Chain A
Amino acid sequence: MEWEILGDQAVAVCGVVYFLALVSHSVEWAALRKVPVAVPAGGAPVPEETPQRAAMFGRLGLLLTSLGCAVHLVALVGRGMSADPPRVPWSNMYEFALSGTFFVVLFYLLLRRRYRLDWMAPLMLGFTLTCLMLAVIWLYDPVSPLTEALNSPWLVIHVVSAVMASAIFSLAGIILVLFLIKSRLGARNSGYLARVPEPAVLDRVAYRLHAFAFPIWTFGVLISGPIWAHQAWSSYWSWDPKEVWAFITWVVYAAYLHARTTAGWQGRRAAWIALIGLATLWWSFIGVNFFSTTSQHSYALPEVTSVVELVDRA
């Protein structure tokens, strides 16, 4: 009981902390607006105090983001510990969203330096906050023990890889949206957009993130998923709607990876393919559960003949 309260409160706290981080980054970018982007040789003098202020708020934002991420982890632990017996906190859609957003922030923090992602802090935080809010409003479910079919070590492996891959794909998707905007605007960009890296860089970083997430997704939905399905449902692949959509997502991302190497499909076209992939990814996560009644992965009533609760809410 205490764990559950801790978990719920931690969700609220991390939401607030992320919001403060967002504010802080907004101040940072607002401060940077006044600074010319590239100071031409011998050109306009740079106002002294603004970059310092920007840097300070940038650091503060980063600090708050890290703090929020830690509290987010507490929320997940609280959620998992409050179940009886304790379990991993990814057994229904609410928990899936909670862990997914956690991984979005975590991967942002981990990959920030390597891929110079600082520019996307406000977008990433905005995205995370929106998802968290929607999850709390629409997906909230009280803590309950695992249904029998979910009670397997494969739950841990299968879901964590699917969630991690989804988080990275989402980050990459945000980058590609910016890529599309920037390459459409060409040289005509100002303010925040001027600080976003060049389209070629965005394209490359997004590709690397996709290349990172794709094997994880492959492992999650095409290896560990079928192994588990075989144990629980006696068939490793049964074209259940959730499986179908996971497969479609995989095929679309494979198409993206091909498009990147195909003349005439690079750049904007490839980016659109990846964004279609992202749409199918979110659809396989949320849409299938809400709009399909026959999925073994849904809340649907037990199949009339099979009654052990095969209710995988993830």
Chain B
Amino acid sequence: MSQERRPGELNALELARWWWRQLTSMRTALILLFLLAVAAIPGSVVPQRNVDALATTRWQAEHPRLTPIYEWLGLFSVYNSVWFSAIYLLLVISLVGCIVPRTWKYARAFGAPPPPAPRLLTRMPGHTSYTCAQEPREVQAQAAAVLRKRRYRVRPSPAEAEAVEVAAERGHMREVGNLIFHLAILVVLAGFAAGNLFGYRAGVIVLVGGGFANNLTQYDDFAPGSLFDTDWMEPFSFTVDDFQAEWIRSGPAAGQARGFVADLEYRTDPDAEPIRYDLKVNHPLAIGGTEIFLIGHGYAPVITVTDGDGQVAYSGPTVFLPTDQHFRSIGVVKAPDASPAQIGLEGEFYPTYAFTMETGPFSAFGEMLNPVISMLVWTGDLGMDTGLAQSVYVLDKAGVDQVTAEDGSMFRVDLAMGDSIDLPNGLGTVSFDGVERWNRIQISRSPGKFVALGGVSLALLGLMMSLFIRPRRVWVRVRRENDSTVVEVAGLDRSSGGDVTEELDALVALLRPEEKETT
């Protein structure tokens, strides 16, 4: 490589080798590492579909012109994008190309004896010398012993050789650590990839008292890995029998809830015995390879809509989604079967209703002390016959009109629990009968997670070996000069933080005291 030939003069094989050397050079690794860091940035700025689908949709609605460009660039899923993958794949190739050849080199060096002393010890980064009255061979033996004790691999020059020397080396394990570290990164990537390809992450809202069976149709949202097969889903089921939260009533965190416990009864398959489990935050339940997490809770007011004909057009607990710490929640009721006209309600639920002129209505506390719903009413075509899927939390307002009071003002359904109200124009009646609770349960499979964990732990071990083990070479040369013995000690620290002078001082200190005794 060092011959200065321009790439144009290389034949195909040489060119390939040239590229390979470039790719596996340390400089390329450095640049790729930087690129990886830079490439990760957009994902922390642009909302990511896999991280927060809702924020992504909102962002896209606000930036209609940028959206197609960003979409094309893959900016809504940076970490699956072609260019991000390209960078880390190159890094992996570079890693392999760098590490494999080194493995052979290390393996050979591992058993090799310490290299002989260079001719000029004074040229070494660390160098010192002293004189004493001992015989050179005596000093040599002593130096070899001292070095062995300090866990050096030692090679004294043979007795018949003219030069009296000791060559010593230690810290081979540093290279091993370095190898382990870099190989472990590959293990981590494999584990991570397995999780992303073969796992899934899904969520469901379950009413307290209600149940769930592990089946695709039961989930509210479901994000499978690209190679996930639904046949792998385990046939468990559970019911949430009870749910408790403890409310903080004073201090700066007043109104926050903690100590959530969902009292679960689950079966690993339909024929299995039921088992009880206290599902808590930070305390998931594992069933086979699937894990179940409690990650949210909220209220589901029980609302009944009786239509103009006196028929019950809608009745039941309706999940409202909290929007703040005090569980001010939003929700929608759709009664497409009401007659004479379809009825839609959209509004808020306040577990502890409060009102000031400045803030308007709000919830003063997360616990249910004064529950109130406040909703607006719409009538017309709710758009539910189009065959398109509709979110249960959104009212399609394209075909509906807002219901107004007789005087033309906005009509509101403001109800405390247990109350009911007649809608204008003989549309019907709405009543607020009670409140149930719901839990948001996250269910996921992350195969390969222990591979990844094992990988990082191994990486940490290798890292510490490669950072803290000091690979050192030390040489001692002894010669007679004008009736006294001159001992030259030189050393080389091959690590990045290398400084060998302290080690040499320590060595000399160990070698010399005996010399003082003899003089």
Chain A residues in the interface with B (C-beta under 8 A): 84, 141-149, 151-152, 204, 207-208, 211, 214-215, 218-219, 222-223, 226-228, 230-241, 244-245, 247-248, 251-252, 254-255, 257-262, 264-265, 280, 288, 292-294, 301-310
Contact = CB atoms under 8 A, between A and B. Distances in A.
Nearest to B461: A215
Given A239-B50, A251-B36, A234 B463 contact: no
B252 A307 contact: no
B281 A257 contact: no
B459 interface: yes
5 contacts: A143-B252, A239-B43, A260-B496, A294-B47, A304-B321
Given A149-B281, A239-B43, 4 more contacts: A215-B460, A223-B460, A248-B40, A306-B203
Interface stretch (B230-238, B256-264, B396-404): B256-264
Given A147-B258, A239-B50, A264-B27, A227 B298 contact: no
B322 A145 contact: no
B282 A149 contact: yes
A305 B296 contact: yes
Closest 9 CB pairs of A and B: A306-B296, A241-B44, A144-B253, A307-B296, A234-B293, A234-B442, A255-B33, A244-B44, A211-B467
A308 B243 CA distance: 13
B26 A262 contact: yes
B174 to A, nearest CB: 12
B246 to A, nearest CB: 10
Given A232-B281, A262-B30, A307-B440, A144 B251 contact: yes
Contact of B297 (A260, A307, A310): A307
Contact of A145 (B47, B258, B294): B258
Interface stretch (B8-16, B323-331, B479-487): B323-331
A304 B322 contact: yes
Interface stretch (B156-164, B352-360, B450-458): B450-458
A260 to B, nearest CB: 5
Q: Taking each of B30, B248, B456, which has the highest tally of chain A beta carbons within 10 Å of its own beta carbon?
A: B30
A223 B457 contact: yes
Interface stretch (B51-59, B141-149, B408-416): B51-59
A227 B453 contact: yes
Contacts of B54: 303-305
B284 A231 contact: yes
B18 interface: no
A234 B205 CA distance: 15
B285 to A, nearest CB: 11
Given A248-B40, A303-B52, A308 B252 contact: no
Contacts of A240: 51
A301 to B, nearest CB: 6
B55 A235 contact: no
B69 interface: no
A239 B81 CA distance: 13
Contact of A248 (B26, B37, B282, B322): B37
A148 B453 contact: no
Contact of B282 (A142, A144, A231): A231
A144 B463 CA distance: 38
B496 A261 contact: yes
B256 A234 contact: no
B169 to A, nearest CB: 19
A241 to B, nearest CB: 4
B295 interface: yes
A147 B34 CA distance: 36
Contacts of B195: 236
B303 to A, nearest CB: 20
Given A223-B456, A239-B50, A293 B440 contact: no
Contacts of A231: 282-284, 293
A237 B455 CA distance: 14
Contact of A232 (B260, B282, B453, B496): B282
Q: Specify which of B44, B298, B464 lies most central, judged by the most chain A CB atoms within 10 Å of its CB.
A: B44
A258 B457 CA distance: 21
A236 B449 contact: yes
B41 interface: yes
A265 B293 contact: no
Contact of A239 (B36, B48, B444, B468): B48
A237 B257 CA distance: 26
A172 B356 CA distance: 53
Nearest to A212: B467
B201 interface: yes
Contacts of B332: none
Contacts of A143: 252
Nearest to A144: B253
A305 B203 contact: yes
B79 interface: yes
B460 A219 contact: yes
